[in-house]
Each structure stands twice: as C-alpha cells, then as structure tokens.
Structure 1
C-alpha cells in the first residue's frame, strides 16, 4: 500500500523569521501573511523555534492594568515572564519546535500533533533545515479522496498484492469513505487483520466487516466450521 507522505501535503512556500527580528517585525509578518505562527530560523536555515500569536499576546496580557503593584498576570513561570518581556523572535519563540520529516505518514504526523497539543508541524530535513509546514487542515485533505480511488487501492493493493486473495474473493463497497466488506474467507482469524489493513488506507473513514463469513473458525478449539 502507498500512503501519502507529509512531503506531498505540506505547504512549501513558508514565511519565516530570524532570531534577531524585533517584536514588531514578527507581528507585521503574521499580519501581512495572515498566518498565526511562523518558524524561527538561524543563519543556515535551520529551525530553532516557532513564534505564534499566543507568544506575542503574552506581552499584551502582561502589560494590562492591574490594581496596585500586583502583576497583571499573576503566578507566571519564569519562562513565561521572560517571553512577556522579550523584544526579539528568539526571546518570544517556543523552542524547540515540534517538527516532522517529509517522509512521515499522515498517521505519524497526526499522532505527534495530538501528543504535543499543536495544530501544525514544521517540516525539516535531516539537518533541521526548513522545508515546509503541515497543518491539521492539510492532513484532513486525505479524506477528500474519491471513493473510486479508495476502492481500487483496497482491491488491488490490500486484498490482491498484500493478502494474495483472488480478485473476486470479497466484494468491496465504498461510500463517502465508509468501507463495507462482503464475502467469505477461509478462516475467521483473517477478519481482524483485513479490517486493520483496510482502515489504514488513506481516505477510509470506517470499515464494516459484519457481512464477512468464514469456512473455519481458527480462533476456536478444534477449528469449528461456520
């Protein structure tokens, strides 16, 4: 099976800033390019961090009026206070940047986004040089794949090339990314494996195996027949 890689989905024309760029220049960049975050790169184009609207807004929050001599935003950690007082991108950015490689699959990128709680990943090469950015929106694009393409991949790649089943062994129905498998298999134990493999095909929303039957229940003692 062929899974689309991050390098195919990412945005390649990415605006970036340098560590020494001043606060206002970073703010202008975000505003002019209508983006919510930008990578921060060093002189060799290596990604050293990411600065976002949230990072810049810490300064606004920290300077808000507060009664008496109390800080506007109490109980800030030292690193948060340093960001609020920063004047350059390297002082404002979140580091290290959460990065992906161009050969990663959608599943790998989505898993990292979930774990790190981020909406985008900076894509870098083996030397951490900036290649692009991939967002949640980019990843969701695989679910716009046509049903005919999904059907063809399941029949040819999963059932044929990988599982070596006869071309007409199973009927595959695909509608709006929902896959329904129909037919009879030699063994019951094949059903979970087929379900898992079909579920990994790009664009598949769900897989139903309720209409699959089998000749032998190899999961039961004695190999009972259905």
Structure 2
C-alpha cells in the first residue's frame, strides 16, 4: 500500500515573505491568495517564522503602527519534510496547534506549504477508490486473501467488512490495515472465521 505523503498534498509553489515585509503587504498577500498564513524566510529561503491572520489581527488591535514580518511572526517555524506521511504531519499540526506547515527540502529551503485544508482532501476520496484499494492492496496483494470470500462495502468513508476468513488471528490484521487506508473514517467488522487460533487471553479489542 502506498500512503500519501506531504509531497503529494502540499501546495508546491509557496507564497512567502521576508523579515522586512510590511504589515499591509502581508495582509494583501493573504487576501489575494486566499490563505490564512504565510511563511517568513531568510535570504537563503529557510523558514524562520510564520505570520497568520491571528498575528495580524493581534498587532492591529495592539495599535503599534505598521510593523514588519519580523515583529509579527510566530517563531521558530514548525516545518515538515516532503517524505513525511500525512498522519505524521497531522500529528505535528495538532501538537503545535498550527494550521499550516512550511515544507522544506534536505537543505532546509522552503519548497511548499501543507495546510489543514490539504489534509481534509484525503477524506474526500471517492468510496469506490477506497474500496478498490482495500480489495486490491490490503486483501489480495498484502494478505493474499480471496476477494470472493469477503465483502467490502464503503459508504461515506465507513468500511463494512463481512464474510469468512480461515483463521481468527487474521481478522484484527485486516481491520488494522483497512483503518490505515487513506480516506477511511471507520471500519465496521462483521467478519467470521473457520478456525480459532487466537491465544487464550489475547486482546481482541480491534475485532469490533
């Protein structure tokens, strides 16, 4: 299974400003490009901070004249690498309470921006695309199960699994791998089994 990376979802042409960019120019860029924040970069295109709409509003309310990006920005910039999984990027956003991550190359130069809006696109995948990935990648290619023995239904990102597998221990693996498919919101497990090979006392919480 190939999971989407930051490089797959980021906006590759990032709008950025310099430390000396004035308040009004930053506000104009946010409005013109319909974005909520913009990275601040140094002369080598390394992100040094981020200016958000909230930063602009805070400074405007404070009434401190017309400050520059260096005076407004939140620093240091929380960045992501293009090879990161989208799950890792989402966790970093949540941990730092940010809505956008500047994406940098191996040299630390800005190459794009990933936003929460970009991550939401994963959950807009068509149900048929999700079903095809589960059947072809999870069941057939990864687990080498017969797709004719199992039924996979996907409605609004919710996957319902039914049918019978040979061994009970396979069931939590199937459920876990389905959860890992991009765009899956939840997995309803209705799978049965022919042989109970689950060790006594093993947790079966994933078999739900």
Match of 1:136 in 2: 116
Please state whether the residue corresponding to 2:166 is helix, strand or coil: strand
1:96 CA displacement: 1.3
Ranges in structure 2 where 5+ consecutive residues have no aligned partner: 201-208
Change (3 A) 1:33 1:151: closer
Q: 1:108 pairs with 58, 77, 88, which one?
A: 88
Does structure 2 retain, via aligned residues, the 8 Å contact 1:6–1:103? yes
Following superposition, the deviation at residue 181 of structure 1 comes to 0.9
Aligned partner of 1:7 in structure 2 is 7
Corresponding residue of 1:166: 146
Using the alignment, how far apart are the partners of 2:194 and 2:73 within structure 1?
60
> Residue 45 of structure 2 contacts residue 110 of structure 2 at CA under 8 Å; is this kept in 1?
yes
How many residue pairs align between the two structures?
Answer: 201
RMSD value over aligned CA atoms? 2.1
**8 Å Cα contact 2:59/2:72 also seen in 1:** no
Q: What's 1:24 paired with?
A: 24
The answer for the alignment partner of 1:218 in structure 2 is 197
Q: Which runs of 5+ in 1 are unaligned?
A: 64-83, 222-226
Secondary structure of 1:168's aligned partner? helix
Q: Secondary structure at the match of 1:183?
A: strand
How far the C-alpha of 1:85 sits from its partner, in A, is 8.2
2:206 is aligned to: none
State the distance in 2 between where 1:33 and 1:153 align: 34
Structure 2 CA distance for aligned equivalents of residues 21 and 61 of structure 1: 19
1:180 to 138, 160, 166: 160
Alignment of 1:182-221 (within 5 A): 182-209=162-189, 211-221=190-200
Aligned to 2:204: none
What is the match of residue 36 of structure 1?
36
Between structure 1 and structure 2, the one with the greater Rg is: 1
Decide which moves more: 194-203 or 160-169.
Answer: 160-169
- TM-score, normalising length: structure 2: 0.87
Shift in Å, 1:197: 0.5
What is the CA–CA distance in structure 1 between the aligned matches of 2:123 and 2:106, rounded to whole Å?
Answer: 29
- Runs of 4+ with deviation above 6 angstroms: none
Q: Provide the residue aligned with 2:61 in structure 1.
A: 61
Instruction: With the length of structure 1 as denominator, give the TM-score of the two structures.
Output: 0.81
Give the deviation of 1:208 after TM superposition.
0.8
**8 Å Cα contact 1:86/1:92 also seen in 2:** no
Name the SS of the counterpart of 1:100 in structure 2: coil
Q: CA deviation at 1:157?
A: 0.7
**Quick check: 1:147 aligned with 2:127?**
yes
In 2, the alpha carbon distance for the partners of 1:129 and 1:216 equals 55
